[in-house]
């Protein structure tokens, strides 16, 4: 009972701190910074099982580098569409980093959606975690300004005529939404799996695309209260939010997670494909 009470107080404190960081006059690192803070939460770290060793044998893409506005370079795994297209899907890794699981998913998405270039971005600048402690440190070390510089570089790489779609999980779920906000009128659609939503209604008013939010009812962090507030905020911003809720735990779509829910994962992926296929043009 003491452990449960402690956990509930920790969650309440986290949500309160995240909300207190919001400032309507700033372009909002609040949601992403608040989520990164979870890298120091032991319950959060050990809610993610260490991924089994995996090497992607058949790579259809290539590693790329591109300039970023902070004078550095960003990186990612790029899968070019079979035929020329201005459609680009930006893929945002979960808190382990850009590993071969994410590369494999990027390839699968490109094949299943069709007629789209796929770029899986590396927000950890080359670091990949193999333990929860390492992942927590890497996630906490991500500076909002640097992540935005990488996304800005990727948007420029895609080009001014690109139609931008985004998807991400966990840590990357929040960045999927932020990237869609950054894409402005070029945005075509956003899918976020159990990522921290943007809470600033004024920021949400600048969205130019629909959002599919996939959430877990048993998630102790992106919990139903957080999701309900997101629904309210998107309605206040007069934006389209499609919500899929599953009676599952955080990170349920990760096959290496002990709380992996195969049925929910399959249904969520079907919804993801339907969402993109309806919106990807050409």
Distances (CA, A) of 221 to 115, 196, 227: 35, 9, 10
Rounded Cα distance between 244 and 270, Å, is: 11
Rounded Cα distance between 45 and 191, Å, is: 23
Provide DSSP, 237-252.
TT--EEEEEESS-TTT
How much is the pLDDT for 9?
Answer: 37
CA quadruple 232, 237, 242, 243: dihedral sign:
negative
pTM: 0.89
How much is the pLDDT for 183?
Answer: 98
Beta strands in the chain (DSSP E): 62-67, 73-79, 87-92, 117-121, 163-169, 187-193, 211-216, 241-246
Distances (CA, A) of 234 to 61, 98, 130, 239: 35, 30, 36, 5
If DSSP codes are grouped into helix, strand and coil, which group holds residue 139? Answer: helix
Rounded Cα distance between 43 and 7, Å, is: 8
Rounded Cα distance between 192 and 215, Å, is: 8
If DSSP codes are grouped into helix, strand and coil, which group holds residue 183? Answer: helix
Provide DSSP, 86-97.
SEEEEEE--TT-
Give me the residue spans of the domains in the chain. Answer: 2-279
Residue 52: how many other CB atoms lie within 10 Å: 8
Rounded Cα distance between 195 and 212, Å, is: 11
Cα dihedral: 228, 45, 103, 167 (round 10) = 10
DSSP-derived letter for residue 38 is: G
Rounded to a whole number of angstroms, the distance between the first and last alpha carbons of the chain is 56
Rounded Cα distance between 224 and 156, Å, is: 36
| Homologous superfamily of domain range 2-279 | Alpha/Beta hydrolase fold, catalytic domain (3.40.50.1820)
Q: One digit per residue, pLDDT tens: the chain, 282 residues? A: 433 334 333 433 333 433 333 333 344 456 888 888 888 888 888 788 888 888 999 999 999 999 999 999 999 999 999 999 999 999 999 999 999 999 999 999 999 999 999 999 999 999 999 999 999 999 999 999 999 999 999 999 999 999 999 999 999 999 999 999 999 999 999 999 999 999 999 999 999 999 999 999 999 999 999 999 999 999 999 999 999 999 999 999 998 787 899 999 999 999 999 999 999 987
- Six-digit token string for 113: 């959606």
How much is the pLDDT for 27?
Answer: 44
Q: Which residues contact 253 (CB under 8 A, 6 or more apart)?
A: 169, 193, 214, 260, 261, 264, 265, 268, 269
Rounded Cα distance between 141 and 91, Å, is: 20
């Amino acid at each position: 009972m003491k452990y449960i009470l402690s956990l509930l107080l920790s969650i309440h404190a986290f949500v309160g701190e995240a909300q207190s960081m919001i400032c309507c006059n700033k372009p909002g690192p609040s949601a992403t910074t608040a989520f990164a803070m979870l890298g120091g939460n032991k319950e959060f770290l050990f809610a993610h099982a260490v991924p089994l060793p995996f090497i992607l044998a058949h790579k259809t893409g290539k590693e790329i580098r591109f300039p970023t506005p902070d004078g550095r370079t960003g990186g990612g795994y790029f899968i070019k569409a079979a035929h020329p297209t201005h459609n680009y899907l930006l893929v945002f890794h979960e808190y382990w980093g850009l590993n071969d699981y994410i590369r494999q998913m990027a390839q699968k998405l490109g094949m299943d959606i069709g007629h789209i270039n796929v770029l899986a971005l590396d927000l950890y600048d080359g670091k990949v975690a193999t333990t929860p402690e390492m992942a927590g440190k890497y996630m906490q070390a991500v500076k909002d300004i640097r992540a935005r510089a990488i996304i800005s570089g990727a948007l420029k790489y895609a080009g001014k005529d690109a139609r931008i779609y985004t998807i991400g999980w966990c840590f990357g779920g929040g960045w999927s939404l932020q990237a869609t906000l950054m894409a402005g009128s070029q945005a075509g659609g956003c899918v976020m799996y159990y990522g921290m939503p943007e809470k600033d209604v004024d920021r949400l008013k600048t969205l130019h695309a629909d959002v599919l939010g996939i959430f877990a009812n048993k998630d102790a962090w992106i919990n139903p209260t957080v999701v309900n507030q997101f629904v309210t905020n998107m309605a206040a911003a007069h934006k389209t939010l499609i919500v899929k809720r599953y009676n599952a735990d955080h990170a349920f779509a990760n096959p290496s997670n002990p709380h992996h829910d195969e049925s929910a994962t399959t249904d969520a992926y079907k919804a993801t494909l339907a969402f993109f296929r309806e919106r990807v043009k050409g």
